[in-house]
Homo-oligomer: A and B are copies of this chain.
Amino acid sequence: MTKTADHDAAVLYGYFRSSAAYRVRIALNLKGVVVAQRYVHLRDGEQNLEAYRWINPAGSVPFWREGDFDLAQSLAIIEYLDETHPEPPLLPRDPRARAIVREMAYAVACDIHPLGNLRILKRLTELGIDEIERARWSKQWIEQGFVAIEARLSQTPGPFAYGDQPTLADLCIVPQVFNARRFDADLAPFERIRQIEAEAMKLDAFVAAEPGRQPDAE
């Protein structure tokens, strides 16, 4: 493995159930990069504690800290890792192939994931939306987003989202499938998405990143 940067002093702040943190864990595992991991219990509100706000004023996870350099946003962290540890690459070389991988990653990160976030579900609760409607809300955006991704996947080589190696797209899709199961979304129509998950689960990098295997898992 080509190592072009050391992250000896790096710390990743995460939460077992955060699917954005889950993406970064997979990237670290695929790259063979070991960093210290700390856990911020989102459901218990630890992101609002002064001690964490001092580290990350926005209170979000995942959050990367490396000396005086820090970074929020899972995709920014992953692309930074990909540029500083190019092997194995998380994006294909061809510009059109890269674009399609990014399209699928953003379809998860911009069109699905933000809508099912804990802060959104909390806000819906405050607005008087009951648990059944909140579950329907999450399910709806997942299923709608998966329709677009599955349509794209019908044009790409498998068994991963783009060819025989995992890319940024798989790093976003697999954690979103985990969330889809939590919200009881119907995965039956999404054959290629299910195939990606099955393929990913053959790799230690994905298995070790699963929420249930994290030290802070309940």
Question: A residues near B, CB below 8 A?
Answer: 5, 57-58, 60, 69, 71-73, 75-77, 79-80, 83-84, 95-96, 98-100, 102-103, 106-107, 109-111, 113-115, 120, 123, 127-129, 133, 137, 140, 147-148, 151-152
Contacts and interface: CB of A to CB of B under 8 A. Distances in A.
Contacts of A77: 99
Ordered nearest first, which 9 A-B pairs have the shortest CB separation?
A80-B99, A58-B148, A76-B102, A73-B106, A76-B103, A114-B114, A73-B103, A83-B95, A76-B99
> Dominant SS at the A interface?
helix
Nearest to A112: B114
Given A58-B148, A106-B76, A151-B57, A69 B98 contact: no
Contacts of A148: 57-58, 60, 72
Contacts of A137: 123, 127
B109 A110 contact: yes
Contacts of A107: 72-73
A98 B80 contact: yes
Contacts of A57: 147-148, 151
Given A57-B151, A71-B103, A79-B102, 15 more contacts: A5-B95, A60-B148, A69-B96, A72-B107, A72-B148, A72-B152, A73-B102, A75-B110, A76-B100, A76-B102, A80-B96, A83-B95, A83-B98, A110-B110, A127-B137
For A69, A80, A137, A151, the residue with the greatest tally of chain B CB atoms inside 10 Å of its CB is: A80
A18 B28 CA distance: 35
A72 B96 CA distance: 12
26 contacts: A57-B151, A58-B147, A58-B148, A69-B96, A71-B103, A72-B152, A73-B102, A73-B103, A75-B106, A76-B100, A76-B102, A76-B103, A79-B98, A79-B99, A79-B102, A80-B98, A80-B99, A80-B102, A83-B95, A106-B109, A109-B110, A110-B114, A111-B114, A114-B115, A127-B133, A128-B128
